[in-house]
Structure 1
Amino acid sequence: MTDLIYFTVSLSGLAALAAVLVVIGRMAGDCPQTAGAARLATWVVVTGFIALGIGAVALIGAALPVLSEGRAAGLYLAIGLLAIALGFGFYNAATMLRDILAAAPRAGEGSAG
């Protein structure tokens, strides 16, 4: 039962943070100057975040039997570790998306005449 709770909470958190990154990317994609770069960068960053997040879920989930030993404290520890890992990952993904968009060429810019 502990495993089911852990994986439900962790994958729900991962999905929620990935959805927030998609929303941020869509908002950046509404800007006509960076729309193309925003769409591509969003999917690259979100895909990487999900891949790393699933790895964190699996690694911490593998340690769950050792952590829990019949007590809820291990479950709380695993969820806490995962929240920290996903938080750092989300921060890095959002920062990477911002940096990509800041460096993207703007529509209408370039060498004129």
Structure 2
Amino acid sequence: MRIVVGVAVVRDGKVLAAYRAGPDGGWEFPGGKVEPGETEEQAAVREIREELDLEIKVGASLGPAVGIDERHRLHVYLASIVAGEPVLREHAELRWFARDELDETTWLVPDRPFVRELLHQL
């Protein structure tokens, strides 16, 4: 089972989301696969640097990992920006969501439990 890390980057009470286009598209927490020899936190820092050109500080987990498919599990962490502004590289769109805009139904299914937990923390 391979772990995929998602990162809920929070700034000024808003969370950064990335839109994955396509027939199964939707909003997701940006991130990616943990490589061999990497911790989940290290993978989160690397993936956000590669995808968004941001330097982040990884914070608390938003709960236990959930299944994406038969081979992957998603684990989402809170994070804050240390340096940079998000750059759109791999997704169709980036958006900052205020707490009252976080409608979990517009998110990819594996991300939804983390959206619910995030609502309790914002």
TM category, shorter = under 0.3
The structure with the largest strand share of the pair is: 2
Bigger radius of gyration: 1
TM-score between both structures, scaled by the size of structure 2: 0.22
The structure with the largest helix share of the pair is: 1
